[in-house]
Amino acid sequence: MKKIGENLYLVLIFVFLFLPILVLILFSFNTSSLNIIFEGFTLHWYYDLFQNSTLLESLFNTLIVAGVSTVVSTVIGTISAYGLYKYSFKGKNIVNELLYIPVVIPEIVLGISLLSVYTLLQLELGLFTLILAHICFCIPFVIISVRSVLEGIDSHISEAASDLGASRFQIFTKIIIPMLMPGILSGAQLALTLSLDDVVISYFTAGPGANTLPLQVYSMIKTGITPDVNALITIMLCFVFVLLMVSTVVQLRRLKKEVSL
């Protein structure tokens, strides 16, 4: 009885979580263009989508921004996490405190501050400023993720490697990086998620030439959305879902291996 109640509750919450997405997927195959009632199956909107250069460009921008900011913030975050762990320097405590600001501050404050500084430095808003902003809020999450793995590593291991003749470069690439991989990967996944999810900061830092999918949808909500947007969202969701499946399978394998040991 208790089990049934629990499972029912879980199903209910998952329905709540997935409902708005499922409804968009459903309507992407709907013959009616009104997003009100499902009238019949069609792939018409997918065909339309590939004629709509504005939408395709916003998708392209979204992927570019997410891809570049994930890679850059993962690299910088990993280097920084190791630097902060291994070395001490003046002002290290301040750096450590400041790192949490993008995590806890309301996104809108970060958004308008970056906008102000871009204006101050006379940077023209566009893809570059957008990517820079995404890198800005992704780095701390990568650092936190990598650092949690670093702290579990026996500090003698890199000494042992150096004792056996490895150079600093070799220690970092052959010993440290492989050990940090779980943290780096989860940090990268987090960065990718945050970048794809962001609305607020992008809203202030993108500028007219760099419409991303959410910004495009935002402006279309006011003027009226065409169903090819549903098709686009469905395609993106499939892409993201496949990515997530792969990462979950990899993690489950690792979990299984650990259990069997």
Residues 68-127 that bind other proteins (CB under 8 A): 76, 79-80, 82-84, 86-87, 89, 91, 95, 97-110, 112-117, 120
Binding mask 241-260 for other proteins (x = CB under 8 A): x-xx---x--xx--xx--x-
Vertex 19, ends 14 and 22: CA angle to 5°?
115
The C-alpha angle 254, 257, 261, rounded to 5 degrees, equals: 140
Among 4, 20, 51, 53, binds other proteins (CB under 8 A): 20
Q: What would the two tokens of residue 45 be?
A: 């909107």
200 in contact with other proteins (CB under 8 A)? yes
Cβ neighbours of residue 185 closer than 8 Å, sequence gap 6 or more: 247
Q: Which is nearer to other proteins, 48 or 175 (CB)?
A: 175
Position among 144, 149, 185, 235 found at the interface with other proteins (CB under 8 A):
144
Tell me if 147 contacts other proteins by CB under 8 A.
yes
Kindly tell me the burial class for residue 192, based on how many C-beta atoms sit within 10 Å of its own C-beta (0-12, 13-18, 19 or more).
Answer: buried
Gap between the Cα atoms of 123 and 129, Å rounded? 8
Asked whether 40 and 29 are in contact (CB, 8 A), the reply is no
10 counts as binding other proteins under rule CB under 8 A? yes
Please list, in sequence order, all residues whose beta carbon lies within 8 angstroms of the beta carbon of residue 82, skipping any fewer than 6 positions away.
Answer: 146, 150, 172, 176, 180
Distance CA 45, CA 228 (A): 5
Q: d(Cα 61, Cα 115) in Å, to the nearest integer?
A: 19
| Residue 149 touching other proteins (CB under 8 A) | no
Site membership for other proteins, residue 180 (CB under 8 A):
no
Positions 220 through 239 that interact with other proteins (CB under 8 A): 221, 225, 233, 236-237
Assess 188 for contact with other proteins (CB under 8 A): no
Nearest approach in angstroms of CB 44 to other proteins is 18
- Please, which residue, 42 or 200, has the CB nearer to other proteins? 200
15 makes contact with other proteins (CB under 8 A): no
Rank residues 53 and 259 by Cβ distance to other proteins and give the closer one. 259
